[in-house]
Every structure is written in C-alpha cells, then in structure tokens.
Amino acid sequence: MQLVVAVIGAAHGLKGEVRLDVRTDSPERRFAVGTMLETDPAEAGPLTVTRTREYKGATYVMFAECRDRTAAEHLRGVT
C-alpha cells in the first residue's frame, strides 16, 4: 500500500528546489536525505531527496533527478 506524503508545489529558485504541500505527520523521516519516493504519475519518478529545509513554515526539497527550474516546474502537482 502506498501513502501520499506530499504534493509537489511551485518551483523555488533556479536549481530545482520545490515547495511541498506536506501530508504526513513525520516529514523529517519521510523527506530525509537519501529517501527514494514513488510518484503518481509513476513516470515522474521515483525521486531521491538530496536536501530538505523549512522556511517560514513551508517545506522545500531538492531531488537528485531534478536539477533546474524547468524540471522542477514539470513536477508541480505530482504526489
């Protein structure tokens, strides 16, 4: 069984960082560096977390497979 842990939101910056709409009660565990996340739609992933940070109450993540803003914009709406 798969659970939705977040919905990818808007791109942030030029290096592929995205804002997450977090849907899990333990984001520090789900978005730890090195974690591989399956996606829906499946062709968007899997995605590997390389960096996570909190800023003004929002969670921002970078994925190894997403290296620039254009790639990040294509991930918007992916769960």
Is the pTM higher than 0.75?
yes
C-alpha to C-alpha distance for 42 and 27, rounded to whole angstroms: 21
Nearest to 51 by CA among 40, 67, 38, 39: 67
Q: How confident is the model at residue 1 (pLDDT cuts 50, 70, 90)?
A: low
Band the pLDDT of 64: cuts 50, 70, 90: very high
As a whole number, mean pLDDT of residues 31-52 equals: 92
Report how far apart, in Å, the C-alpha atoms of 67 and of each of 16, 26, 51 are: 5, 26, 12
Cβ atoms of 63 and 49 closer than 8 Å: yes
The angle formed by the CA atoms of residues 28, 25 and 30, to the nearest 5 degrees, is 35
